[in-house]
Amino acid sequence: MNTLTVSDVTLAFGGLNALTNVNLEIQPGLITSVIGPNGAGKTSLLNCISGFYNPTSGEIFYGEARLTRASPHQVTKRGIARAFQNLELFGGLTVLDNLMLARHRHLAYSFFHALLYWGKAARLEAENRAFVEEVIDFMELEAYRKRAVGSLSYGIQKRVEVARALTLGPQLLLLDEPMAGMNIEEKEDMVRFILDIQKEREITVALVEHDLGVVMDISDQVYVLDFGELIGAGSPQAVATNRKVIEAYIGED
């Protein structure tokens, strides 16, 4: 398992900086949360890590692998997967089909084998199907596996989005507001899944989340952004008493 290191990353759009000289480390095996008010640059940071944006300056490394100019496909090959705030699912396909599509990069066989569906093709399809079924079981989606994703409740769709990322077999999972729009019961379920992902599947988790109660309860380390700048970092307890963080959230006295 590797450490993800963000060094002096700046992301500019014209004359506006979404991120300014951001430095952070996501340590292996931990739950690291990135918090901040709306427009703080949290999703922009995840976009830089996952290859959707190229930083204007600075460097991003995952272990020895340089991700600064990597494409999303290349980032995924390094063992990093992402669940999006805005659902990136095929609403007309079933849960099972959505997850099988996510495993497509693991299906390395020739057109000839695929056409006849024998040998390596049949074996890889069976292996990937077994992996997907295990993820369905882990995320407690058995009751929905044959249902179209678009027919499911928003909370279940968010769970499918996380499952889709898990089917990529990541070492590092990026979660962009996985509990946004959920009711209390759905949030409790998602918190339980995140903790199980870290402990049972031994996957490092980087979490962007607005619910500070959740962040303080489950995070090992917390980074705080405000207007694209890092204003606090450390344990949940240290961040909760940081003067700059308090001012960013509730204003000055």
pLDDT in tens, 4-34: 999 999 999 988 999 999 999 999 999 999 9
**Residue 164, pLDDT score:** 93
- C-alpha span between 85 and 218 (Å, rounded): 19
Which pLDDT band, with edges at 50, 70 and 90, does 67 fall under?
very high
CA 15 to CA 250: how far, in whole Å?
28
Answer yes or no: is 165 within a domain.
no
Within a domain: 162? no
**Per-residue model confidence as pLDDT tens digits over 212-240:** 889 999 999 999 999 999 999 999 999 98
CATH number for the domain harbouring residue 227: 3.40.50.300
pTM score, whole prediction = 0.88
Distance CA 177, CA 133 (A): 25
Does residue 135 sit within a domain? yes
Say yes or no: 144 and 203 in one domain.
no
- Which pLDDT does position 3 carry in this prediction? 96
Judge if 67 and 101 occupy the same domain. Answer: no
222: enclosing H helix or E strand = strand 221-226
| pLDDT reading at 115 higher than 60 | no
Residue whose C-alpha is closest to residue 228's, from 34, 32, 70, 33: 34
Q: Are residues 15 and 48 in the same domain?
A: yes
Query: Average pLDDT of 174-194?
Result: 92
Q: Which domain holds residue 23?
A: 4-79+170-250
Q: For the segment 103-114, what is each residue's pLDDT rounded down to a tens digit?
A: 776 555 554 555
14 and 54 belong to one structural domain? yes
